[in-house]
Amino acid sequence: AKAQIGVTGLAVMGRNLARNFARNGYTVAVHNRTPARTRALIEEFGHEGSFVPAESPEEFVASLERPRRLLVMVKAGEPTDEVIREFAPLLEDGDMIIDGGNAHFADTRRREAALREHGIHFVGTGVSGGEEGALHGPSIMPGGSVESYRTLGPMLEKISAKVDGAPCCTHIGADGAGHFVKMVHNGIEYADMQLIAEAYDLLRGVAGMTPARIAETFRRWNTGRLDSYLIEITADILTHTDAATGKPFVDVVEDQAEQKGTGRWTVQIALDLGVPVPGIAEAVFARSLSGHTHLRAAARSLPGPRGNTLDPKSAERFADQVEHALYASKIVSYAQGWNMIQAGSAEYGWDIDLGAVAAIWRGGCIIRAAFLDRIRAAYDADRTLPTLLADAQFAKEIGEAQSAWRTVVAAAGEHGIPAPGFSAALSYYDALRAERLPAALTQAQRDYFGAHTYRRVDRKGTFHTRWADEDRSEAEV
């Protein structure tokens, strides 16, 4: 029998996705540049379903039913182009190349346009959930043509995570839309992780709580509105004791966070699109700063405040305030992420359904959380919502949280504990709320030194003040 789908690139992700398809009853052709991986897959997992191993690209392509669906799971970047160069000449009109790697959406747009010329559908697809998700059900964000989704979509939906019976997979939009949305997902993930790390740091540094106590606190939070995969694993990590030293595990890990690049891409593209995403940016910079050991060593002896940790009763109250601060900051960073998706959608004409994106992130992916249901509800109620902060429910909650949020940011300052995520989120909130921003002064300065002009609050038009003249007369320009 011919295979309904083929997977080339059988490292952790490709292998697990191939197994997921096979476990769901599909016949799966499998191929890898180095054939040993293909053989290993068949030996170890061949019994799980119907696999068709292929050693050569020709054999692989010949084993696929038409239109062919060829899922590429190789290292993102040049390897993807190499695989396309190798396979595209073997394909025919209407066949599909699905790129499930973490490609940059601009590369996906380029590849899609080039392959479209040859009648081949190129389906850039975001896949989230890591190794486990790939095997048991990831969140899947396919881009590409509507036509390709007609036959491919049901298969992807079948292997995806399910929440309340609904698949965590939907057609996001044309060409690079899927990879764009996956990129923003990762940006939001960076922000979420940073906020959780700050909450932990404040509970430890201000409230004087041990990692084990903080784990209990996180576990309690995980039964409420912060219920999420990331809070759950955080509690688990904080409970873990290092076997070699008997210390809390978190204390034996070097305090330098690495990054692979999707968070950085999110910020770079946000700058290009002109979307303010300070929460995501601060998270990327916080990781970057942590790795600058020479800067940190040079600054280690600089003075800081001498803050005492709180007594146990105040510590409990403070923990509640941190919960509010974390929740409010989380709303803000998701608001920024969704604004970014809106901006990308408008720029590239993707017409992305913002509520549907929230729905497919409820399961399978790293930021899966009960919270996403609320975002979906907000966009279902109003597709044109300018910001999540304008949703009545979120506005109410953030209003209730704001006083505690301010206390926490102030405490961070008083105790000398860095909280860039919490404070940037609060500043963003206050900036959007502000009746007047000091941007008026900034614009006046621009006019002063560079004749960059300004608009007035009381009259239409564009103006310049002749700052060098004695009379400082104003001219309409």
CB of 282 to ligand NBP, least distance (A): 24
CB of 262 to ligand NBP, least distance (A): 9
Q: Which is nearer to ligand NBP, 82 or 236 (CB)?
A: 82
Please indicate whether residue 189 is annotated as part of the active site.
yes
CB of 75 to ligand NBP, least distance (A): 4
CB of 448 to ligand NBP, least distance (A): 48
CB of 60 to ligand NBP, least distance (A): 12
Q: If we measure between CA atoms, which residue out of 69, 279, 294 comes closest to residue 270?
A: 279
Of the listed 112, 157, 182, 330, which one is catalytic?
A: 182
Q: Which is nearer to ligand NBP, 127 or 358 (CB)?
A: 127
Mapped to the 3 state alphabet, what secondary structure does the chain carry?
A: CCECEEEECCCHHHHHHHHHHHHCCCEEEEECCCHHHHHHHHHHHHHHCEEEECCCHHHHHHCECCCCEEEECCCCCHHHHHHHHHHHHHCCCCCEEEECCCCCHHHHHHHHHHHHCCCCEEEEEEEECHHHHHHHCCEEEECCCHHHHHHHHHHHHHHCCEECCEECECCCCCCCHHHHHHHHHHHHHHHHHHHHHHHHHHHHHCCCCCHHHHHHHHHHHCCCCCCEHHHHHHHHHHHCECCCCCCEHHHHCCCCCCCCCHHHHHHHHHHHHCCCCHHHHHHHHHHHHHHCHHHHHHHCCCCCCCCCCCCHHHHHHHHHHHHHHHHHHHHHHHHHHHHHHHHHHHHHCCCCCHHHHHHHCCCCCCCCECHHHHHHHHHHHCCCCCCHHHCHHHHHHHHHHHHHHHHHHHHHHHHCCCCHHHHHHHHHHHHHHCCCCCHHHHHHHHHHHHCCCECCCCCCCCEEECCCCCCCCEEEC
Q: Which is nearer to ligand NBP, 35 or 208 (CB)?
A: 35
Residues 6 or more apart whose Cβ sits within 8 Å of residue 117:
none
CB of 169 to ligand NBP, least distance (A): 14
Q: If we measure between CA atoms, which residue out of 80, 77, 282, 291 comes closest to residue 187?
A: 282
Of the listed 189, 198, 282, 323, which one is catalytic?
A: 189
| Binding positions for ligand NBP, rule: CB under 6 A | 9-14, 32-34, 37, 73-76, 79, 82-83, 101-102, 127, 130-131
Please indicate whether residue 397 is annotated as part of the active site.
no
Q: Which is nearer to ligand NBP, 52 or 74 (CB)?
A: 74
| Dihedral angle over CA of 359, 361, 362, 363, nearest 10 | 130
Q: Which is nearer to ligand NBP, 101 or 278 (CB)?
A: 101
CB of 11 to ligand NBP, least distance (A): 3
Comparing every residue's Cβ against ligand NBP, the nearest one is 101
Q: Which is nearer to ligand NBP, 102 or 194 (CB)?
A: 102
Q: Which is nearer to ligand NBP, 127 or 354 (CB)?
A: 127
Q: Which is nearer to ligand NBP, 15 or 415 (CB)?
A: 15
CB of 309 to ligand NBP, least distance (A): 38
Question: Which amino acids are annotated catalytic?
Answer: 182, 189
